[in-house]
Chain A
């Protein structure tokens, strides 16, 4: 009987401990950036929704540039513009640093490259001299994982998102700091090339390690505002 009483007591205690909800939010950056989770995943790893990119493991400088551009209207996407409208650089930098430090799982996006695969591979790795299009790898790296501080990796992103960004640069709803290299490059791509490059990048297998190369690991051929 005494044993039963103890069991009952411990059950009551454990159940109340189990149901008790905290009364104060954790004083962490992770608890503060929950506003990002439903689109970008619990730790920025991305979601099944093809409209939203992973942000985990991207260069902190790149992420900060994007947050500032969303805030200042250089990059137009109202749901993002709205969320960061009244934040200052110091806090945006903290948010960028948090997601940059999250492990990126650069799994293949499982998309299959389309016809013209060989030509697209050539465009990505060698560029198109005739049309003044540099190779993606010249800036984003041979492994396409990007380079600190401002150039993002291009794998582990879905094709729809990549294509949408290239189009945004062309039509002027996405700007980078001047000189805006990607505006110039995207403007020289044909619509077919946009589609093919996006599809080809999304079909790349995962790489390891996934982190961007340290600043200065190679010399980028262009002078771009976002890669000082």
Chain B
């Protein structure tokens, strides 16, 4: 701890200069495509940014804040962003709102904690910020005082954010790549900026940051115990082998021929991505698929330990009895209703939390316009032992050409207490 603090202090010294430099960089806003949706542009953008997810407490008025965000450093409470003058953003100006998104500093100069994804929102151009602000200002004001954060020492000292920002924050509006298509650039902006996908799909380190090296490389979502798959690996997510249409179907509809969304991603689809215009869903998919272009196709490493024949036979018996009726004996499933398990990125990943959670808790993808009557998977936690769960997940992870590793009953047991909702 001591050495960590010293390190942070050193970083702080170097920072003020860097911060001043970044603030002076003015960048032109990229052209934004027209939105083919009847809702206002600001409302559409608010959906894409998924503001409501964090700025609404359970059972509360949307955007009135008070949502508890447990972090490894303590609990943060989101602020009220309705236009109430006393407790919300009723006294803010459009410029102050833009500056907050762009710099990660609040109106009064307070450094924001990165629970607010300002490292992504800094890419939002002024005109989008203005449209968002106009939409938020059109909401009904709700008087709901903000709740103080409950961070433990030393994290309750906001000045530590100087160090964090030096390591993990680069201020600057999104810059379209001149050599790429408008569609690619639109997708890049939505994925990297407004959509802040990297908040979950990157490895979060002990300081709650993610480096450029780990961008979109996948990560365990702290305290939620769901694994956000890599978007850049053909070993895990395998988006390189997906069609653009399948990626778009997953994003916008929540279900595709390759897989469906559950857990935190179901919430993202519900709050945010189901509102994507078809053009924007395709643009995001084109960009996501392009993340693989820079990487040579990777081969699976040899599994370090393989399950015994006895363990596999036990898993197969359970699979045939419990799973095969929907997912088929060959693991191909009946997509999009019953997702394929063979070649499914969420099953093969190094960490087994997602398949374990699906077996224990089941799940329904969100109801969307594209998938208005979703099919569901039943929970098995109440009828299967840790040994049985581990056996069947192991079988699924190594069968039909899948390259996963075996799972232990202890790992299965650990997921029984994982929170079901945030």
The interface of chain A, by Cβ under 8 A from chain B, is: 21-25, 29, 31-39, 49, 51-52, 72-73, 78-79, 81-88, 90-91, 94
Contact = CB atoms under 8 A, between A and B. Distances in A.
Contact of A33 (B59, B366, B376, B419): B376
B86 interface: no
A22 B337 CA distance: 12
B382 A39 contact: yes
A81 B334 contact: no
B326 A34 contact: yes
Interface string B326-355: 101110101001100000000000000000
Contacts, number: 98
A25 B334 contact: yes
Contacts of B326: 25, 34
Given A25-B334, A34-B376, A72-B59, A86 B421 contact: no
B373 A38 contact: no
A-B complex: 6 closest residue pairs judged by Cβ atoms: A35-B376, A86-B366, A25-B337, A38-B378, A82-B420, A86-B270
B403 to A, nearest CB: 24
Contacts of B58: 73
B59 A85 contact: no
Given A25-B326, A35-B364, A37-B378, 4 more contacts: A38-B383, A52-B382, A90-B372, A91-B374
A66 B329 CA distance: 36
Interface of B: 58-59, 266-267, 269-270, 324, 326, 328-330, 332, 334, 337-338, 361-367, 372-383, 419-421
A35 B358 CA distance: 11
B267 A85 contact: yes
A83 B367 contact: no
Contacts of B269: 86
B270 A38 contact: no
Contacts of B366: 85-87
Nearest to A36: B378
A83 B266 CA distance: 11
B375 A25 contact: yes
B267 A86 contact: yes
Given A33-B376, A39-B378, A21 B328 contact: yes
A124 B2 CA distance: 67
A23 B337 contact: no
Contact of B421 (A31, A32, A82): A82
A81 B421 contact: yes
B367 A91 contact: yes
Contacts of A83: 362-364, 376, 379
A29 B334 CA distance: 16
B375 A79 contact: no
A91 B376 contact: no
Contact of A23 (B332, B379, B420): B332
B381 to A, nearest CB: 8
B389 to A, nearest CB: 13
Contacts of B378: 34-39
Contacts of A35: 362-364, 375-379
Nearest to B59: A73
B266 A32 contact: no
Contacts of A94: 373
5 contacts: A24-B337, A25-B326, A32-B374, A78-B419, A84-B364
Given A39-B379, A73-B58, A79-B379, A91 B332 contact: no
